């Protein structure tokens, strides 16, 4: 292992470095959206010159690579149809619907015969930031100033960072903060305080604004009920109140009917036949029954079948209390005084 060995090792390394040269860059992909892996002009010229190129993707196994596309003299074979799209104009590869599994190292290699030019692209995938929301954590009033603690959060997104900035130039530095928590303190005479929270990640950002007009929980505009939420809250309450009012009205009507029962129907009209004897002189035959005069009288009141007296005529068949009773005929004989 003298000088000859070290000379051979140096020549081998120089050969390897001369036959393959790699350059790398980083591409940011958005989850659920298309991501394009672009080829720089240098590699575009090499591809047109030599006419052979290949797109590959690394896997979890460092010894294994997945071939995505092969290009040869104007023709190409896409091994991931439906997942990728090849652009012949600039030889770029478009991933149609980026997923977290696409986060990997990609290679674009140009075959130059005994040598090879390799372009390495690292694809990083991020979920975009959703709309942030401002929440009150605490508030207090003391010594003529208002102190509020706010928290800005977004429900979805990868690697989110938060920052607070002033929207009102008249109060510089009042809302400056580099995190999601903001401790805000201002005099009560300040009637207009405006602070903005910015939620950011490598592929997107969202902004929400806090507007203050006093010192209370009502300052948080983002926590107010929307019109649809207000309808969903108020409508069931109104329906319940109407239902209760209908039940109370029915009970009140039923109580009135019990206190004032309907007037009973008028009793039937009963006809009484009376015989009254006329005044005449005493005849020679006292044993004879003096003649009588019949008087028709109409009477109302208690049914005749309940009235006392031996001269009551038999009443017809009884009827139900609800039905009016039929007229009843009563025959009474009244003797007139004899002169």
In the chain, where are the structural domains located?
18-126, 133-223, 225-256, 269-282+289-304+328-339
CA distance 227 to 230: 5
Which class would CATH give 133-223?
Answer: mainly beta
Give the residue carrying structure tokens 């019949």. 294
Q: Which of 270, 328, 324 is nearest to 301 (CA)?
A: 270
Fold agreement (18-126, 133-223): yes
Read off the DSSP letter of residue 236: H
Query: Does the reported pTM lie above 0.75?
Result: no
Any idea which fold 18-126 has? Immunoglobulin-like (2.60.40)
Tens digit of each residue's pLDDT, the chain (339 residues)? 444 434 334 434 433 343 344 567 999 999 999 999 999 999 999 999 999 999 999 999 988 999 999 999 999 999 999 999 999 999 999 999 999 999 999 999 999 988 999 999 999 999 999 999 999 999 888 888 888 999 999 999 999 999 999 877 666 678 888 999 999 888 877 667 889 999 999 999 999 998 876 675 544 444 444 455 567 778 888 888 898 988 888 888 887 777 665 554 444 555 555 554 555 545 445 455 555 555 555 545 554 444 444 444 444 444 444 545 555 555 555 555 554
DSSP for 132-153 reads PEEEEEEEEEETTEEEEEEEEE
């Amino acid at each position: 292992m003298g000088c000859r060995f070290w000379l051979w090792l140096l020549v081998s390394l120089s050969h390897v470095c001369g036959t393959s040269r790699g350059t790398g860059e980083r591409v940011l992909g958005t989850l659920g959206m298309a991501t394009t892996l672009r080829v720089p002009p240098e590699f575009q010229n090499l591809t047109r010159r030599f006419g052979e190129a290949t797109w590959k993707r690394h896997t979890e196994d460092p010894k294994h690579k997945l071939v995505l596309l092969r290009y040869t003299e104007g023709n190409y074979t896409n091994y991931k149809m439906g997942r990728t799209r090849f652009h012949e104009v600039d030889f770029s590869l478009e991933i149609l619907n980026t997923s977290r599994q696409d986060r990997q190292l990609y290679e674009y290699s140009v075959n130059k015969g005994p040598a090879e030019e390799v372009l390495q692209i690292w694809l990083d995938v991020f979920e975009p930031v959703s709309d942030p929301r401002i929440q009150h954590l605490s508030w207090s009033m003391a010594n003529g100033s208002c102190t509020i603690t706010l928290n800005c959060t977004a429900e979805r997104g990868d690697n989110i960072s938060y920052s607070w900035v002033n929207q009102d130039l008249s109060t510089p530095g009042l809302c400056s903060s580099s995190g999601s928590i903001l401790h805000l303190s201002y005099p009560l005479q300040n009637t207009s305080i405006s602070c903005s929270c910015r939620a950011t990640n490598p592929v997107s950002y969202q902004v929400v604004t806090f507007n203050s007009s006093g010192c209370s929980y009502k300052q948080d505009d983002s926590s107010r009920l929307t019109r649809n939420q207000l309808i969903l809250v108020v409508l069931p309450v109104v329906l319940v109140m109407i239902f209760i009012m209908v039940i109370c009205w029915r009970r009140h009507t039923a109580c009135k009917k019990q206190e004032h029962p309907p007037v009973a129907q008028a009793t039937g009209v009963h006809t009484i036949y009376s015989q009254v004897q006329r005044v005449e002189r005493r005849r020679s035959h006292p044993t004879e029954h003096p003649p009588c005069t019949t008087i028709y009288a109409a009477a109302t009141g208690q049914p005749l079948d309940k009235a006392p007296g031996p001269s009551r005529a038999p009443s017809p068949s009884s009827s139900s209390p609800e039905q009016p009773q039929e007229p009843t005929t009563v025959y009474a004989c009244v003797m007139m005084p004899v002169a």
